[in-house]
A and B are shown apart, each in its own frame.
Chain A
C-alpha cells in the first residue's frame, strides 16, 4: 500500500518534470526540422534548376561550336568554277570539328558543289540537284535548320544541321553531326557525387548519356522509356525538381532545361538519397539532439522527483515508526524548504508524544492508590505536586474482619481468596463512591484516608458516612457468609487529626501514605471495635455530632495512650437482604 502510493507520487512528479522539459524540446525540434526541410528543399530546387540550365548551356555550346564553324563556309558567293579554297576550308573544318562526319555544300541554285566525308569518297562539283532537300529548304527559310536525329545503322545518333549564308549566293552547308561526341560534354557534367545529365530529343529518344552504350542502342523504345518518364515527371512538376526512378529503380531528383535550336531537353538527375543527404543529415542531427535532450530531461526529472519524494518517504517511514511506538525516532531532512519544516515539526511532535506517554504512565501508576476522580484531577492538572509531602488534617479510617485468621485456617485457600475478593470488591466500590484515598490493604485489613491528598468539604462527615457504608455493605456479605457457616465479623475505626502525608517509595515502586499518631489511634480504635461496631475519637464525633446519631461510649483505654480517651460509636441499621446463593 505504502509502496504503491510512493511510486505513484514519484511517477507523477517524474512525468510532470519530464514533460516540462521534453515537450518544449520536442516542439522546438519538430519546428526546426520542418523549416530546415523546407529550406533545403528550396535550395535543392534552385540547385538542380541551375544545374539543368548550366548543362543545357553546355550542350548548346557543343552545337554552337559546330554552327560557328559552318558559318565560315557560307560567307562567300559561289563562282561557276571549282572552288579549291572552299574545299581546303571544308577539310580544315572536318579536322577542327571532330563531330562533323560529312559536309555537303550547295550553291545558291541548290546544286551540290562539294561533298567531303571522313568515311566515304569525296565529291567535287557533282552539281547534283539538292534544292528540294529538306535541309536545304529549311536552311534557306530559317538560316539554321536542325533535322531529326537519325541513327546510323540503328546505333549511332546523327543530327543533320544545315545553314545558309547571309546572302543566298553563299549557298547552303549541310553537315552530318555524330552526336556520339556529345558524350565528352555530357560525361563532364557532374551533379553532386553520383548525379549526371542526359539529353532527349523532341520525340524522347536518348541522344546523350554518360553511359554511351545506352545511346548506342539507337531508337530503342525500352531503353528510352525510363528517361521519357523522368522528362514527363519534370514537365508535370512545373517549377522545382521532380522525383522519379533511375534505371535501377532507385529514387532520383531531376530537373530539366530546354536546348533551343534542335529542340532537345537536358535533364539532370541526382539520387534522391544524395540530394536529400543534407536534409537527412539535419533531421538526424535534430533527432539525435532530441534524443539526448529527452534522455537528459528524463534523468533530470528522475533526480528532481527523487529529491521531492525521498523526504516524503522519510516522513512516511517516520510515521510508521511512531505508530509502532518508537517515539525516539527523528527524521533528518535538510532540503531547506517546507519539507524540512514539516520534518522538524514532526520531530517536535514525536518528542511531545514521548512526554505525553511518560505522563500517562505516571497517571496510570497514580490510579493504583488514588480514587479515580483524584487520579483524573492529577491527570487534568498535569501536576502531581498534590502528592508532595506535607502536614494535613486528615481522617484515617481502618477496617478489618473479626475472626478471619481462625476462619482462614479452617477452610481451603480457594475459599479464603473468594471471600477476600468479595470483601474487597464491595469495599472498593464504597471507597470509590466516597472519593477516599485507599492507602494500603493487607490480609483482611485496610487503611483509607479522607481529605488527602485532595481536600474534601467535610472530611469527618464523609469519613463517618464512609464507615457506615462500609459496615452496611460488609454486613450484607457477612450475612451470607454466616449462612455458609463462616463465623466472621467486621469492625471499623476512624480518627481525625494532623498527619504527615506524601509519597514514599523508590524508582517506579512508590505509595502514598500518612504518618502520625492519628493513624495509630485509628488503627487502635479499629482493633478495639467489635463486630458491627464503628468507633471514632472525640474530634470526629465533635465534627458530626449534630448531623449523625452518635452515642458516647465513654472513655476507653487505648494501647499506646496513657489515659483512656473518649470513644464514640454510631448506630446503623444493617439491611437483611437475601444472599445471592
Chain B
C-alpha cells in the first residue's frame, strides 16, 4: 500500500524541499511554500497509514477457486472467529496455482514481493514447502495432510520454532487405514492397487507405510503412479485388469481436489476405491477416510487471525485435527454389487444412501 502512495507524495515532497532551500532568499514566498509542503506531507502520509492499517494476508492456493470453495469458506469462518472479516479489517491477496504445483514457488515469491503480513499456505505439503522456501522472515500458516516434522517444515509439533506453524489433518498418516478398510471390504482379495503421486513430498513415506501394512494384512500391492489428470484413466484401467479389484489412493491434495473425476472413473471402471476426501463418496465414489478438512481449514483461519492479533507463530503449536472421518456411499456399493459388513457400516461417520 505504502509503495502505491509513494509516487503521489514524492513529487510534492521534492517540490517542497526546493522551496525550503529558497526560503532564506525569498522569505515571504518561502513561508507559503513551507506551508504547502506541510499540507502535502500530511496528505501524503495520511492515506498511506490508513491503507496500511488493514493487514494483508497472502493466500497461496494450489488449486482454482471452485474446488477450493469449501476450504476457503472454512478458513473465513476461522478468521471471523478471531474477529477478522475480509474487506472490513483484513485484506486477502489470492494466488491460485490452478493445479499446477510447479507454479507454487513463483506465486509464493510474488506474495513475498507484495509484502503481505502473513502467508497462508493451505492444501498440502507442496504449498507449505513452497511458502517456506520463499521467505525466512514472513509468517507462514500452513494446512497439510502430512507430518510437518517429518517433512522438515517445523522442528516439533509443540514448539514449531521460527516463523511457521499450522494445522495437519493426519490424512497422510492414515493412508494405511485406507488399505485396511479396502481389505475389510474385499477380504478375499490377495492384491490391491495403490495410486500414488510420485511428485508428492509424502509419496515415499506413504508407500513405505502401505507396504508394511500390506505385509500385516497379507495382501500384495500394485503401485500405480498418477501425477497429472491424464494419468488417472490409465491407472484405473490398469487396476481394472486382474488380479486387483480394489483401488486405494494415497493422501495427496492433487487427488483430493479431483474427487469428482476419480468418482466418475471408479464408476466407469466399476472399481471399489477409497480416497482421503469426503468429496469422493459424495460425488459417487465408494469410501473415504481422512482428516476433517473443514476443521483443519477453520483452525488455519483461527491461527492466521491470532497471529494478526500479534501472537508469535513460535508460541502456537502445530495442531492435529481431532476428527478423522470415514465416509461410505451405499449407493455406490449397490452399483458395484458389494455388500458392506456391519462392522464397516458401524464405524462409518457418515453413510450416504
Interface positions of A (Cβ within 8 A of B): 84, 87-88, 91-92, 94-95, 98-99, 118-122, 151, 153-156, 178, 180-181, 212-213, 216-218, 220
The residue of chain A having its C-beta at the shortest distance from the C-beta of B209 within the complex is: A121
The answer to whether the Cβ of B173 comes within 8 Å of any Cβ in the partner chain is yes
Nearest chain B CB to A320 CB, angstrom units: 65
Picked from B156, B213, B346, B348, the residue with its CB within 8 Å of the CB of A121 is B213
Contact code string B319-350 (vs A, CB < 8 Å = 1, else 0)? 11011100000000000000000110011110
The answer to whether the Cβ of B174 comes within 8 Å of any Cβ in the partner chain is yes
Picked from A118, A178, A220, the residue with its CB within 8 Å of the CB of B158 is A220
Q: Is the CB of A119 within 8 A of B322?
A: no
Q: Is the CB of B180 within 8 A of A154?
A: no
Q: Is the CB of A181 within 8 A of B322?
A: yes
Contact code string B217-243 (vs A, CB < 8 Å = 1, else 0)? 100000000000000000000000000
In the assembled complex, the Cα of A136 lies from the Cα of B326 at a distance in Å of 30
In the assembled complex, the Cα of A121 lies from the Cα of B324 at a distance in Å of 14
Picked from A92, A98, A120, the residue with its CB within 8 Å of the CB of B346 is A92
Q: Is the CB of A178 within 8 A of B322?
A: yes
User: Which of B65-73, B91-99, B125-133, B310-318 is the interface stretch?
Assistant: B310-318
In the assembled complex, the Cα of A95 lies from the Cα of B342 at a distance in Å of 14
CB neighbours (8 Å) of B348 from chain A are: 95
Q: Is the CB of B317 within 8 A of A88?
A: no
CB neighbours (8 Å) of B180 from chain A are: 121-122
CB neighbours (8 Å) of B114 from chain A are: none
Q: Is the CB of A95 within 8 A of B347?
A: yes
New A-B pairs, 5, CB < 8 Å, besides A121-B213, A213-B316: A84-B343, A92-B347, A118-B324, A121-B216, A153-B158
Q: Is the CB of A154 within 8 A of B157?
A: yes
Q: How many A-B residue pairs have CB under 8 A?
A: 72
CB neighbours (8 Å) of B323 from chain A are: 98
Known contacts A88-B342, A178-B322, A217-B317; A119/B158 CB under 8 A: no
The answer to whether the Cβ of B49 comes within 8 Å of any Cβ in the partner chain is no
In the assembled complex, the Cα of A84 lies from the Cα of B159 at a distance in Å of 43
Q: Is the CB of B324 within 8 A of A217?
A: no
In the assembled complex, the Cα of A118 lies from the Cα of B292 at a distance in Å of 13
In the assembled complex, the Cα of A89 lies from the Cα of B16 at a distance in Å of 82
Q: Is the CB of B173 within 8 A of A91?
A: no
In the assembled complex, the Cα of A216 lies from the Cα of B316 at a distance in Å of 8
The answer to whether the Cβ of B76 comes within 8 Å of any Cβ in the partner chain is no
Picked from B217, B318, B342, the residue with its CB within 8 Å of the CB of A155 is B318
The answer to whether the Cβ of B176 comes within 8 Å of any Cβ in the partner chain is yes
Q: Is the CB of B213 within 8 A of A155?
A: no
Nearest chain B CB to A517 CB, angstrom units: 115
Nearest chain B CB to A205 CB, angstrom units: 12
Nearest chain B CB to A49 CB, angstrom units: 31
In the assembled complex, the Cα of A178 lies from the Cα of B176 at a distance in Å of 21
Q: Pick the most buried of B159, B213, B343: most chain A CB atoms within 10 A of its CB.
A: B343
Q: Is the CB of A156 within 8 A of B176?
A: no
CB neighbours (8 Å) of A218 from chain B are: 158, 317
Known contacts A95-B348, A119-B177, A121-B216; A216/B342 CB under 8 A: no
The answer to whether the Cβ of B170 comes within 8 Å of any Cβ in the partner chain is yes
Known contacts A88-B342, A98-B322, A119-B174; A213/B315 CB under 8 A: yes
CB neighbours (8 Å) of A94 from chain B are: 347
Nearest chain B CB to A538 CB, angstrom units: 124
Nearest chain A CB to B83 CB, angstrom units: 15
In the assembled complex, the Cα of A99 lies from the Cα of B323 at a distance in Å of 9
Nearest chain A CB to B69 CB, angstrom units: 26
In the assembled complex, the Cα of A91 lies from the Cα of B157 at a distance in Å of 29
Q: Pick the most buried of B173, B176, B177, B346: most chain A CB atoms within 10 A of its CB.
A: B346
Q: Is the CB of A216 within 8 A of B158?
A: yes
Pick 13 A–B contacts, CB within 8 A, sort by A: A84-B343, A88-B346, A91-B343, A119-B177, A119-B324, A156-B320, A178-B322, A180-B322, A213-B316, A213-B317, A216-B319, A218-B158, A218-B317
Of residues 176 through 194 on chain B, the ones whose CB sits less than 8 Å from some CB of chain A are 176-177, 180
The residue of chain A having its C-beta at the shortest distance from the C-beta of B344 within the complex is: A91
Known contacts A155-B157, A156-B320; A95/B174 CB under 8 A: no
CB neighbours (8 Å) of A99 from chain B are: 322
Q: Is the CB of A119 within 8 A of B173?
A: yes
Q: Pick the most buried of B157, B323, B342: most chain A CB atoms within 10 A of its CB.
A: B157
CB neighbours (8 Å) of A95 from chain B are: 346-349
The residue of chain B having its C-beta at the shortest distance from the C-beta of A99 within the complex is: B322
Q: Pick the most buried of A88, A94, A220: most chain B CB atoms within 10 A of its CB.
A: A88
The residue of chain A having its C-beta at the shortest distance from the C-beta of B183 within the complex is: A121
In the assembled complex, the Cα of A141 lies from the Cα of B349 at a distance in Å of 35
Q: Is the CB of A216 within 8 A of B317?
A: yes
Nearest chain B CB to A335 CB, angstrom units: 67
Q: Is the CB of B322 within 8 A of A88?
A: no
Of residues 45 through 81 on chain B, the ones whose CB sits less than 8 Å from some CB of chain A are none
Q: Pick the most buried of B306, B323, B347: most chain A CB atoms within 10 A of its CB.
A: B347
CB neighbours (8 Å) of A153 from chain B are: 149, 156-158
In the assembled complex, the Cα of A155 lies from the Cα of B318 at a distance in Å of 9
CB neighbours (8 Å) of A87 from chain B are: 343
Of residues 149 through 180 on chain B, the ones whose CB sits less than 8 Å from some CB of chain A are 149, 156-159, 170, 173-174, 176-177, 180
CB neighbours (8 Å) of B318 from chain A are: 155, 216
Known contacts A95-B349, A155-B317, A217-B159; A121/B217 CB under 8 A: yes
The 5 closest A-B pairs by CB, nearest first: A216-B317, A91-B347, A155-B157, A155-B158, A218-B158
Q: Is the CB of B156 within 8 A of A154?
A: yes
Known contacts A178-B322, A180-B322; A119/B157 CB under 8 A: no
Q: Is the CB of B174 within 8 A of A118?
A: yes
CB neighbours (8 Å) of A151 from chain B are: 158
In the assembled complex, the Cα of A151 lies from the Cα of B317 at a distance in Å of 13
Nearest chain B CB to A387 CB, angstrom units: 98
Nearest chain B CB to A66 CB, angstrom units: 14
In the assembled complex, the Cα of A295 lies from the Cα of B177 at a distance in Å of 80
The residue of chain B having its C-beta at the shortest distance from the C-beta of A212 within the complex is: B319
CB neighbours (8 Å) of A92 from chain B are: 346-347
The residue of chain A having its C-beta at the shortest distance from the C-beta of B165 within the complex is: A213
In the assembled complex, the Cα of A154 lies from the Cα of B318 at a distance in Å of 11
The residue of chain A having its C-beta at the shortest distance from the C-beta of B176 within the complex is: A121
In the assembled complex, the Cα of A383 lies from the Cα of B319 at a distance in Å of 124
In the assembled complex, the Cα of A577 lies from the Cα of B39 at a distance in Å of 118
CB neighbours (8 Å) of B317 from chain A are: 155, 213, 216-218
Nearest chain A CB to B217 CB, angstrom units: 7
Q: Is the CB of B347 within 8 A of A216?
A: no
CB neighbours (8 Å) of B342 from chain A are: 88
Nearest chain A CB to B37 CB, angstrom units: 44
In the assembled complex, the Cα of A372 lies from the Cα of B177 at a distance in Å of 147
Nearest chain B CB to A185 CB, angstrom units: 13
In the assembled complex, the Cα of A553 lies from the Cα of B216 at a distance in Å of 192
The residue of chain B having its C-beta at the shortest distance from the C-beta of A215 within the complex is: B317
CB neighbours (8 Å) of A119 from chain B are: 170, 173-174, 177, 324
In the assembled complex, the Cα of A88 lies from the Cα of B346 at a distance in Å of 7
In the assembled complex, the Cα of A181 lies from the Cα of B324 at a distance in Å of 13
In the assembled complex, the Cα of A206 lies from the Cα of B343 at a distance in Å of 37
Known contacts A87-B343, A88-B346; A121/B177 CB under 8 A: yes
Nearest chain A CB to B21 CB, angstrom units: 51
CB neighbours (8 Å) of B216 from chain A are: 121
In the assembled complex, the Cα of A254 lies from the Cα of B320 at a distance in Å of 31
Q: Is the CB of B320 within 8 A of A91?
A: no
In the assembled complex, the Cα of A212 lies from the Cα of B303 at a distance in Å of 11
The residue of chain B having its C-beta at the shortest distance from the C-beta of A218 within the complex is: B158
In the assembled complex, the Cα of A156 lies from the Cα of B349 at a distance in Å of 23
CB neighbours (8 Å) of A122 from chain B are: 180
CB neighbours (8 Å) of A156 from chain B are: 157, 320
Nearest chain A CB to B306 CB, angstrom units: 8
CB neighbours (8 Å) of B324 from chain A are: 118-119
CB neighbours (8 Å) of A216 from chain B are: 157-158, 317-319
CB neighbours (8 Å) of A121 from chain B are: 176-177, 180, 213, 216-217
